[in-house]
Amino acid sequence: MRFSLPRTPVLFLYGLAAAFLIYWHWRHILDALPFLVVLACPLMHLFMHHGHGHRQDTRPADKSDSPKA
């Protein structure tokens, strides 16, 4: 038999735990913010540079098919 809690109380407990951690350890969180920004840079580079038009699934157009003027 599998035990499963409803989602709302679990999310409430996670939120409560996060609030207590932030309340009691806010100074540690503030100390870590510069490092988190530096660590976010490589992730943003990997995940946010997909829209520059560098598509690998399209083939370049064949120039021999173009009409000659």
pLDDT at 6: 83
Q: What is the pLDDT of residues 13-35, one digit of tens each?
A: 999 999 998 899 999 889 998 99
- In angstroms, the CA 53 to CA 62 distance is 19
pLDDT at 35: 92
- In angstroms, the CA 35 to CA 18 distance is 20
Q: What is the pLDDT of residues 49-63, one digit of tens each?
A: 765 665 555 565 655
pLDDT at 20: 93
Intra-chain end-to-end CA distance of the chain, in Å: 76
pLDDT at 69: 56
Average pLDDT for residues 27-48, to the nearest whole number?
87
- In angstroms, the CA 32 to CA 23 distance is 15
